[in-house]
Amino acid sequence: MTARQPLLHLIAAVAALLITSVSAHEPLTLHIAHRAAIRDLPAPAATTQSLELRVVNLDQWPEAEIHAALRSTAQILGQCGIRVTRADLLQVTAPESHRHFDTPRSRELARELALPKPAVFFTAGTRQIPAFDAEAIGRGNSRTRPELADTVWIAKGARDLGIVVAHELAHVLMDSGEHDSSSGNLMSESTTPQNTQLTAAQCERLNATGRRNGLLRGVD
């Protein structure tokens, strides 16, 4: 019996590894519990581009909080002639492991949902290092994670939510991670109630790149 113990331990270890491997590759099960259209978003006086958003609530964020954030976002983007003409809110039930922003698991989730872009995900938090309250993934920083292209990920607890969403969407629409240190600029590294303005050059780039990448549609 003693001589066989190492072999038995090896067999048990291999079996445990196989079980872990199988469970790690089980299909991701998601359930869309609720869909709602967010209406009555502010519109600019002169609309030149339309923007359609898919908004995913992964962690029981209050819908009123998301609505208020998107109203603020629409107001900010309106200064560039952009109107949010559609915003679909989806309440998605996902495993706890996929409710945080975490590149490998978030890639799985985005691939499984296969939503039109751009898409904004309201998450339970982030497991990325370094950890940020919000992250934008455009074409330029998604080459190794294509499923995440043109998405925004917001961690619960982020402050000035509407400004954060507008800031991150602007990164996606401009396909740029650049920040602007000008006073009051939306693209400052700090998202605060004082930083909501976009320059004419930023609007031009945002509109041109967003339209070229199929994220905005021109309005005649």
- 38-84: per-residue pLDDT in tens? 988 999 999 999 999 999 999 999 999 999 999 999 999 999 999 99
Write down the CATH superfamily of domain 29-218.
Collagenase (Catalytic Domain) (3.40.390.10)
The secondary structure element, H or E, covering residue 125 is strand 125-126
- How many Å apart are CA 51 and CA 86, to the nearest integer? 7
3-state helix, strand, coil in the chain (%, to 5): 40, 25, 40
pLDDT at residue 22 tops 60: no
**Largest distance between two CA atoms of the chain:** 85
- How many Å apart are CA 184 and CA 189, to the nearest integer? 11
The average pLDDT across 188-200 equals 96
Q: What is the pTM of this model?
A: 0.87
State the pairing for strand pair 119-123/134-137. Answer: unpaired
91 conformational bin, left if phi > 0, alpha if psi -120 to 50, beta if neither:
beta
Mean residue pLDDT of the chain comes to 89
Q: Which of 87, 106, 89, 110 is nearest to 98 (CA)?
A: 106
Q: Among the listed ranges 2-6, 77-81, 119-123, which one has the minimum average pLDDT value?
A: 2-6
Q: What is the pLDDT of residue 7?
A: 40
82 forms beta bridges with 49
State the pairing for strand pair 49-57/216-218. Answer: antiparallel
- How many Å apart are CA 134 and CA 37, to the nearest integer? 23
